[in-house]
Amino acid sequence: MKHSLIVCLLAFLPVAVMAQEKHDSLVVDDTCNIAQHQALIGQPAAVAEGLSLEQPLRVHAENAPVTMDYLLNRINFVTDETGAVFRIYCG
């Protein structure tokens, strides 16, 4: 019985390692300098749209269709149903 339990636990060890690796890959570096734009959270979309940046930017509503291309330096501002920025991410 003890031996079977140990074998079962060891069988799931690779799954746990893969899950941790997947989680680690979700951690995103700040490749588009979003830290300097955190003050825009809660601001109207027009404020983000009016930014003059050297890098590409995109402002879109939550659940709006957007292209799937991934640009490391592009900053994305996501707005809620009121038109206020509630999320900023790179990509």
Which residue ranges make up each domain of the chain?
2-90
Do the Cβ atoms of 50 and 6 come closer than 8 Å?
no
3-state secondary structure of 25: helix
Distance CA 80, CA 70 (A): 22
* Region 44-73 average pLDDT: 95
28 or 66, greater pLDDT: 66
What is the CATH code for 2-90?
3.30.10.10
pTM for the model: 0.68
Residue 2 has what pLDDT? 57
19 or 60, greater pLDDT: 60
